[in-house]
Amino acid sequence: MTLNIGVIGTGAIGQDHIRRCSFALSGARVVAVNDINQDQAKKVVSDLGIAAEVYADAHELINAANVDAILVTSWGPSHEEFVLSAIRAGKPVFCEKPLAVTAAGCKNIVDAEMAFGKRLVQVGFMRPYDQGYRALKAAIDGGRIGEPLMIHAAHRNARVGQAYATDMAITDTLIHEINVLGWLLDDHYVSAQVIFPRKTSKALAHLKDPQIVLLETARGTRIDVEVFVNCQYGYDIQCEVVGETGIARLPEPSSVQLRSEAKLSNEILVDWKDRFIAAYDVELQAFIDAVVAGRVGGPSAWDGYTAAVTADACVAAQRSGKVEPIELPERPAFYAPA
Ligand SMILES: NC(=O)c1ccc[n+]([C@@H]2O[C@H](COP(=O)([O-])OP(=O)(O)OC[C@H]3O[C@@H](n4cnc5c(N)ncnc54)[C@H](O)[C@@H]3O)[C@@H](O)[C@H]2O)c1
Ligand SMILES: O[C@H]1[C@H](O)[C@@H](O)[C@H](O)[C@@H](O)[C@H]1O
């Protein structure tokens, strides 16, 4: 069976996912697209040369008889509406992060999915599909470094645009660490604090950059994450786990090591699309395969919700300067790992 996919949002990652569903992955094709910028949606379809219908209305796309599953890749604030609409239609939906821009919005999705009675939602947290993070988790779970005590992490973007605000360092950027570090440790967060070091002159006036986020997990592991979104030099993701008997470090993406002009050097990537290209392929192929097999797996709406609750506490910590508690409700049996 070929899965017929409808895509809402044909911006940067929407185009990337349409391309991979159409040309890189197997078992699916994109038959419908929508964007509030209809000209852009039309251009994407024509540039890629795919036979997809351009819908003026996202809800019509969701309910179209020939659309089996939905990808939501529009702006964050529109995600909740489209995911709820997909659940109402009983269709599997892959939603890019964030699942919704508020914890309350994510909870609405969790409630709707539980009321439907079957998992339909996969959230686009791709890092657990990255080979490097998987190797790191295998080292931790295999007891190679003893119990994890601390994590030192960094999430650096070369630069961000005018629309990027101080709280987006949490809701748009740190959200990946919130997800992947919880998954790495199989633990959840109990408190957050945010510290603002000296501000870089490369950030726009309204943005506090860099930031250091301190997280504490239920088992007492302490995590520091440097979020630095105008670092200039590249897209750089670092993660070092300090355990009782050793240290495990996220591998660098592979690149040719050059000995040239009296220098030993490796290239650093600059674009998130390249850094996680394989992880995006694996996560979307997993979604397609699962839906074809009649189920949905991967990061769940509950994962999206708990990430949002944690992010809310971090944003509160940005504003208060204090250590903010994180209170998570018990995970419902509905979302127990398979
Ligand atoms: N997993 C990742 O690593 C990753 C990477 C990039 C972006 N994202 C997420 O993907 C989403 C999109 O990001 P992007 O970088 O592609 O942004 P973008 O601005 O390039 O594209 C967003 C698109 O959504 C469209 N849009 C906005 N509101 C809409 C609506 N109501 N209905 C239909 N279309 C609408 C816009 O016109 C635009 O074309 C964001 O939530 C972002 O956080 C995730
Ligand atoms: O939407 C993007 C994307 O999620 C990237 O992975 C992250 O590094 C950026 O900070 C964020 O703006």
DSSP codes joined into one string, 256-276: --EEETTEEE------HHHHT
Residue 8 near residue 35, CB atoms below 8 Å: yes
- For residue 231, report the distance from its CA to the centre of ligand 2, in Å: 14
91-100 residue pLDDT tens: 999 999 999 9
Nearest atom in ligand 1 to 126's CA: 1
Please report the pLDDT score of residue 143 as a whole number. 98
Query: How many Cβ atoms from other residues are within 10 Å of residue 162's Cβ?
Result: 8
Six-digit token string for 114 = 């539980």
- Residue closest via CA to ligand 1's atom 15 equals 12
3-state secondary structure of 198: coil
Q: In what order do the strands lie in the sheet with 3-8?
A: 53-55, 28-34, 3-8, 69-72, 93-96, 121-124
Residue pair 38/54 in contact (Cβ under 8 Å)? The answer is: yes
**Closest ligand 2 atom, residue 97 Cα:** 4
Atom of ligand 2 nearest to the CA of 173: 10
Residue 107 near residue 83 (C-beta atoms within 8 A): no
Helix (H) or strand (E) holding 281: helix 277-292
Main-chain phi, psi angles of 169, to 5 degrees: -55, -30
Q: How many CB atoms lie within 10 A of CB 302?
A: 25
Summarised one tens digit per residue, pLDDT across range 196-208 is 999 999 999 999 9
Residue from 73, 156, 176 to probe ligand 2 pocket by mutation (most atoms less than 8 Å from CB): 176
The predicted model gives 276-284 an average pLDDT of 97
Query: Taking CB atoms and a 6 Å cutoff, what residues make up the pocket around ligand 1?
Result: 8-14, 34-37, 40, 58, 73-76, 78, 96-97, 124, 126, 172, 272
Nearest atom in ligand 2 to the alpha carbon of residue 237 is: 8
| Cα–ligand 2 centroid distance for 263 (angstroms) | 31
Q: For the complex shown, is ipTM > 0.95? A: yes
Find out whether 285 and 25 touch, Cβ atoms under 8 Å: yes
Q: What is the pLDDT of residue 338?
A: 74
Type of residue numbered 117: G
152: Cβ contacts below 8 Å, ≥ 6 apart: 223, 224, 238, 239, 240, 242
Going by pLDDT thresholds of 50, 70 and 90, the confidence category of residue 337 is confident
CA 31 from chain center: how many Å? 24
pLDDT in tens, 102-149: 999 999 999 999 999 999 999 999 999 999 999 999 999 999 999 999
For the chain, which domains are there? 3-127+278-300 (3.40.50.720), 129-269+307-325 (3.30.360.10)
